[in-house]
Amino acid sequence: MREDGDSGMDGDPIGARLAAPIAVADLAKLPQRWFHAEVVALCRPPRGWSVGDLVWNPAFPGRLRGAWGRQLLNTASPVARHGGPCPWSPPCAYDPLFREHPALMGLETPKPYVIAADPAPDGLDLMALRLTLFGFATDWLESAADAWVLALRGGVAMPNGLHAALEPLDRRIAVHEGVAASAPPAAARLHFVTPLCLRRGGTTHGGVGSLFTSLGNRLSGMARWLDTTVVADWRSLKEHAATLTIDASSLRPLAWHRHSARQGDAPIRMEGLRGTVTLTGDLGPLWPLLTLGALTHAGSHAAQGLGRYSMEPLTV
């Protein structure tokens, strides 16, 4: 580990900021420090496709991300386009949102956003396509929102591989400060809207026990985008998680393919679990992880929209 005076981040202001947070918070205080922004575009599905065909397709959020990333790349500095820290002041939006930032404390630095697709809440045949930015990534909100519209308008790869324009009929931006953490219930059901991919435990039901480790790692990294270091007794939390009763019998394995421009657009097989997980026991110490995880998603490939869940409190 480098000493504080040898961050190795010269010429990389974003990397330096991630490496040296100015605040410290425990898990109970982290929701109070949280801030994020949402960009929501309402679009009709292209001809020949229904809303359900797209919003329930696990690869679709990743296709939205790819189209958005291409638009950001078009406005990036030459150095950022080749994977280096952007020298512009302020850096171009591609740098914080798509560049691979160095691992910190042995953990991967997560991308500071998630993407989601839902049926529009008004019952019309529309999709609500949502981009959520976390922490100081919201400094680039305007550029990110403009690129989001251009990405949809310019065409997104459909499940058949063909590109189709998704013209935004409306675009809304909302900024949120703080996350209200409700009192932990006696039990909770997590509804995984998109497949959960856990690197430890694979796609087996038993692997769901690593969910809390995955959430802890992800939120510790995401807190860096909030200029915050998370302090927690992770060993005790892991031991506490082992005391919960976890019913993952409703999860079902799902396999699909995604495409990566970096890998020549070749199909990449993906596997995950979709369905519900019921947690029973003392959820109190773990409730901030679950509450924030519903915003940031859980598991691997969360920036591509995977691991998204909603929570339903239960009584026992």
pLDDT digits (tens, 9 = 90+) for 11-25: 899 999 999 999 999
Could you give the 3-state DSSP secondary structure of residue 229? strand
Crossing angle (nearest 10°) for helices 141-154 and 60-74:
110
Task: Please give the mean pLDDT across all residues of the chain.
Answer: 91
Residue 169 dihedral angles phi and psi, to the nearest 5°: -85, -20
In this prediction, residues 110-123 reach a mean pLDDT of 93
Q: Is the pLDDT of residue 204 over 80?
A: no
The rounded distance, in Å, linking the Cα atoms of 226 and 24 is 10
Radius of gyration, alpha carbons of the chain: 19
Give the pLDDT of residue 218: 96
The pLDDT of residue 257: 85
Q: What are phi and psi of 100, to 5 degrees?
A: -75, 115
Express each pLDDT in 55-98 by its tens digit: 999 999 999 999 999 999 999 999 999 999 999 999 999 999 99
Distance in angstroms (rounded) separating the CA atoms of residues 132 and 303: 10
Q: What is the mean pLDDT of residues 284-302?
A: 96
Q: Is 110 exposed, middle or buried (0-12, 13-18, 19+ CB in 10 A)?
A: buried
Q: Confidence class of residue 200 from pLDDT cuts 50, 70 and 90? A: low
Report long-range pairs for 258-262 (Cβ below 8 Å, ≥24 apart): 258/59, 258/62, 258/304, 259/63, 259/66, 259/157, 261/66, 261/70
Q: How many CB atoms lie within 10 A of CB 264?
A: 7
CA dihedral 116, 121, 125, 127 (to 10 degrees): -20
To 5 degrees, how large is the angle CA 88–CA 93–CA 97?
130
What residues form DSSP beta bridges with 277? 190
pLDDT of amino acid 264: 59
Q: Is 307 helix (H, G, I), strand (E, B) or coil?
A: coil
The residue with greater pLDDT, 246 or 9, is: 246
What pLDDT score does 293 carry? 97
pLDDT of residue 107: 82
Contact (Cβ atoms closer than 8 angstroms) between residue 115 and residue 65 = yes
Residue 287 has pLDDT above 60, yes or no: yes
**Can you say how many angstroms the Cα of residue 84 is from the centroid of all Cα atoms in its chain?**
23
Q: What is the pTM of this model?
A: 0.92
